[in-house]
Amino acid sequence: MTLADAKEGDKLVVVATVGDDVTIQAQRFGISEGALISVGKNIPGGPVIIVRKQMELAVGRQLARAIEVSLQSGASGS
């Protein structure tokens, strides 16, 4: 699934980013393959608010669609 599909409260592992431009942009946010993140809020048609190392980041919808994630083992959404 992509970050854009994630639900509020999901604890995720970043699996991959699609394309070099996306990879570079995601790395600026500290998001790379293997990063552990959680979804603070997924605003329909807007950004996905993620939490990474106690920092909240707003990831635009287009970027969120290009970040592949999976649920952390043993984690479930709210």
- Which tens digits make up the pLDDT trace of 29-73? 888 999 999 999 999 999 999 999 889 999 999 999 999 999 997
Length of the chain (residues): 78
pLDDT at 29: 84
Per-domain residue ranges of the chain: 3-71
27: left (phi over 0), alpha (psi -120 to 50) or beta: alpha
Asked if residues 32 and 74 have their Cβ atoms less than 8 Å apart, the reply is: no
Which CATH architecture describes the domain 3-71? Roll (2.30)
Instruction: Report the predicted TM-score, pTM, of the whole model to 2 decimal places.
Output: 0.86
pLDDT-based confidence at residue 78 (cuts at 50, 70, 90): very low
Instruction: Give the helix ranges, DSSP H, for 1-78.
Output: 20-28, 61-65
CA-only gyration radius of the chain, Å:
11
**Which tokens sit at 65?**
């669609």
